Amino acid sequence: MAEPAFSGLRVLDLSTGSAAAHCTKWFAGFGADVILVEPPGGSPARRVGPFAGDGTGPDDSLSFRYLNGGKQSVTIDLEQEAGRDLIRRLLPTVALLVEDSPPGTMSALGLAWEEVRAQNPGLVYLSLTPFGQNGPYRDLPATDLTLAAFSGTMNDRLLAGRNPVRMGGSQGDAIGGRVAFISAMSALLARDATGEGQHVDLSMHEAIASVDMAAPTTYSYTGVVHQPRRTTSTRGRGGMGRYPVKDGWVDIMPGVGGLPKLARLLGDPELANHELFTDHALRARKADEFDKQFMDPWVSQRTAREVVEQGQALGMPFSYTMSLRELLADPQLAARGFLVTTGEAEGTSGTQPGAPVRLSAAPWESGTPPSAGEHDAAILGQELGVTPSDIARLHELGVV
């Protein structure tokens, strides 16, 4: 079997948030030895729902399961010097350290980049925080929602006359985690070339803001503030956008050279010569008339799947909004093995996303999420040489 891409790479994960967990999930999926350091009793992330079945225990959080498959877990209290000493003993074995504490926290613990680099000059030290390590916002707390607002992305998702909305799910956390993964990889590649590690200071605010730079770039050149071209209606007009069908909605976009194709789709290729098909400005002015005469009679008689399949057959990028039931049964995802079934120790199983990318010579493994402190004996005992009696004493003191 092929070696995983990150075989032999060790990551020390001191984070608690989902953005950093997204980052270290990528490392674990491609074979890195990711050690998740949790406080005694387990990470707060283990108490975030939804939960599997009727359980609410530390191993039942579905988000924790998804983000931490394939990682190892040790429980260490960083508030105690004995706990910090265990971290320092692990540092020489680590290529990458990931932390998401508020700026200044790691320095107060004696574990800041400047303090640990002497132990491991090749260490890449990734700090993932809402606003970075400097600037007037650096100490402000933030969530996925507030970062969406601060980054300007909610303004681009504004319907006229309505409140702005953020991207669905925790997309900001996912974006920040992926930018963190790319940034850490860049620093690791630089270390391979120079032998020197470095501090990676990642701002979630900037990572999310960088997703759509069209509006600020346009403003910087033209002075024109971008205004989202959206109305109070989410319905398509003039042959483009979202249209109601017999069983839901479809998203119609004729694409390049699409108006003649749209005429063929509607059953009359000669419509391509109609003035509403040839004159784009006229069609924009008479969009409602265009829909009433051409689009509505056709889409209203068909299901979403029929419309999409017929449009795609002509090379037009039509789509419809899948339900979760449809998504889990989607043949495209099945063909690529994207959805993986996970089995847990307590006998429950479920389906979760796997790797969205394939490496021809290196596998991805979703892995099983660890129980809190599952690897204390292996890492603290066998590797660091902490005796069973000392581990028991540290447990009594609340260090592990």
Q: How confident is the model at residue 153 (pLDDT cuts 50, 70, 90)?
A: confident
Strands 33-38 and 10-13: parallel
pLDDT tens by residue, 13-45? 999 999 999 999 999 999 999 999 999 999 999
DSSP 23: H
**Whether pTM exceeds 0.75:** yes
User: Lowest-pLDDT range, 32-41, 62-71, 134-143, 148-157?
Assistant: 148-157
Which burial class, exposed, middle or buried, applies to 351 when counting CB atoms under 10 A from its CB (0-12, 13-18, 19+)? exposed
> In which residue are the tokens 């419309």 written?
307
Bridge-partner residues for 74, per DSSP? 37
pLDDT, the chain, mean: 89
Give me Rg for the CA atoms of the chain: 26
Q: Which residue has the higher pLDDT, 284 or 11?
A: 11
pLDDT higher than 90, residue 101:
yes
Q: What is the pLDDT of residue 344?
A: 54
pLDDT computed for residue 151 by the predictor: 82
pLDDT greater than 50 at residue 231: no
- Residue 389: pLDDT over 50: yes
Question: Under the phi-then-psi rule, with left for phi > 0, alpha for psi from -120 to 50, and beta for the rest, what region is 37?
Answer: beta
Give the span between the Cα atoms of 97 and 114, in whole angstroms.
13
Residue 106 predicted with pLDDT over 90:
yes
* Three-state SS annotation for 322-342: CCHHHHHCCHHHHHCCCEEEE
Instruction: Give 155-185 pLDDT, tens digit per residue.
Output: 665 555 566 666 677 888 999 999 999 999 9
Q: Identify the structural domains of the chain with CATH numbers, from first to last.
A: 10-211+336-396 (3.40.50.10540), 241-322 (3.30.1540.10)
